[in-house]
A and B are shown apart, each in its own frame.
Chain A
Amino acid sequence: MPGFAVLLGVLIAVLAVSMVIAISIGTVTVPLSEVWTVLGSHLGWNNSIIDPIRNQIIWEFRASRVVLAAVIGAALAVAGACLQVLARNGLADPYVLGVSSGAGLGAVLAISLGSAAVGGLGATGAAFVMSMVTLALVFVFAQRGGRVGPTRLVLAGVAVSYLASALTSLMQLYGDPLALRGTMFWLLGSLQNARWDDFGLIATTIVLCMIWLLGRARSMNVLASGDDTASALGVDVNRLRIELLVITSLLTATAVSVAGGIGFVGLMVPHGARFVVGPDHRRLLPVSLLAGATFMVSVDLLSRVIDRPNELPVGIFTALLGAPFFLLLMRRSARAHG
């Protein structure tokens, strides 16, 4: 497939260019040439001495944030693609499984009760643990006699998500008003706390998950055609489902623990990717990964510049774009299926 290789090349180039642009623009706009020099001094194509203040702005603040935006966007988009197969429903998204709400609850617990109350975990650690707990709960409710039905999965996700949101609201009502702003950023989703320290875990997670997924891409195509058909074609349906659930939750939990609940990326990006390369996961997954990264970098840039020098939570923008998109899809699928 030479055409597909070209497409991947173009997507990688677009991602690289958008990352460099996103690094240069901000409260202080830095010329692209200077961005290039600073990146070069860290990545090895430039040995000249650089100004420590420029270095701090470009490398420590901007580059870390942009790179994390890319990785988080990639993780959420791939998680969305998996979830849509898992639920056999194009409207599914990591939000649907309640993972984001669970992570939000964990963060709010840590912020308002103090980290001692949640076993010494910080907001990030608590968010990660709670998103895994939420997912385990959703899974327990969704399975019946060892079989996980797509509809039950979505319904259990919605119910558990409501429960987590209700508990979060309760915590906020009784919480310290000063801590509220911090919790808001968690719930709405923002990359402003993203640091290089967070990069290792999420990058490793996505690389490992992606390798695993590409090996199962053919089976995912088959699972999308129905459980019985998948069994008939030699796929161990329940095992694949459980594996996909674990992958989805790992990807979502690591992303959410860094950036809070950024919704609809997992919904929009795989759909866009499917529109371009079709539903075959051997192509859909890599394209979703790259497109998700580019999308997140761009939306994060938008959230930083639209009200300069103030910054808005990026989750607001993804929701503003995503909710109408969701409704559009719903109308389209209603027309197709009656």
Chain B
Amino acid sequence: MRASVHGVTVTIDSHQILEDVALEAASGQFHGVIGPNGSGKSTLLRCIYRSLRPKLGTVRLGDDDVWRDLSARQAARRRAVVAQDSALDFDFTVADVVAMGRSPHKSLFERDTTRDRDLIQSALSDVDMAWASRRLIATLSGGERQRVFLARAIAQQAQVLVLDEPTNHLDVRAQLELLQLVKSLGVTTIAALHDLDQAASICDGVTVMRTGKAIASGPPAQVLTTDLIESVFGVRAHFGTHPLTGRPHVTFATLERTSTSTKDTKTP
């Protein structure tokens, strides 16, 4: 299912957080949203997953506007989310958490069916966490926990997946495994990523955000240029080819350490 954003503007307490942002993820694509902290990535994602209603603009899942054509529950049957806020104050087990993924499909007093339990089990197997189903979510490591939240999203059976910095606080191996797992699901994915190297190697398309505006969009090889990275992130990028995987990769240096240090004065 296609996911798209057009002309989205968000104002909170008279501060403009997003201004006329557009984004388009084709069916089955992995689309990255990148940009420095505070550039509006999370706000944009919150508009997409219907947690924040934009002042202007439209968010579509397939052909339907998530705010005008779909209820919160209907939207939740089409797109699943791994957000950043997952609270751990209550002692939910791993199975409890994954079971929540079924809630948009259930009516008020409906009980869990055998089918729900099967879906929960197979989602846990997909992320390799079936062994932990009786464990408390709070006792897992960061990487395991993210896999469980991903299992909840899988149990939701949505065709669009939204991830807000899914690899935050994970060690390198857990980061790579999680992203590969997401990619293997084959669903349309929109993910805020803070690691440009990951974005370059995994995304089919990227949108670059700066101070609430989408300043570039397209395949990573075209968008992620040395000049763009320097103007958005204030670092000097060097592109190469990974000797083992053959995929593009990027390394960075601060501007002071490079021969182009004369540009220092231009950066804020």
Contacts and interface: CB of A to CB of B under 8 A. Distances in A.
B100 A279 contact: no
B244 interface: no
Contacts of B108: 215-216
A222 B99 CA distance: 10
A205 interface: no
Nearest to A239: B72
Interface in A258-314: 274, 278-280
Interface size band for A = 20 to 34
B131 interface: no
Given A88-B87, A234-B76, A278 B96 contact: yes
A231 interface: yes
Contact of A274 (B51, B85, B90, B104): B90
Interface residues of B, number: 39
A52 interface: no
A232 interface: yes
B103 A233 contact: yes
Contacts of A231: 46, 49-51, 72
Contacts of B138: 336
B13 interface: yes
B91 A215 contact: no
A235 interface: yes
Given A218-B103, A222-B100, A279-B96, A228 B87 contact: no
Interface of B: 12-13, 46, 49-51, 71-77, 79-81, 83-87, 89-93, 96-97, 100-101, 103-104, 106, 108-109, 138, 156, 162, 164
Given A90-B89, A232-B81, A233-B104, 16 more contacts: A89-B89, A221-B92, A222-B103, A224-B90, A224-B92, A225-B92, A225-B100, A226-B86, A228-B49, A229-B87, A233-B76, A233-B156, A235-B72, A236-B72, A278-B91, A333-B89
29 contacts: A88-B87, A90-B89, A214-B109, A218-B100, A221-B96, A222-B100, A222-B103, A225-B86, A226-B83, A227-B51, A227-B85, A228-B51, A228-B85, A231-B46, A232-B51, A232-B76, A232-B83, A233-B76, A233-B100, A233-B156, A234-B73, A234-B75, A234-B77, A234-B104, A235-B103, A236-B72, A278-B92, A278-B93, A279-B92
Interface of A: 88-90, 145, 214-216, 218-219, 221-222, 224-229, 231-237, 274, 278-280, 333, 336
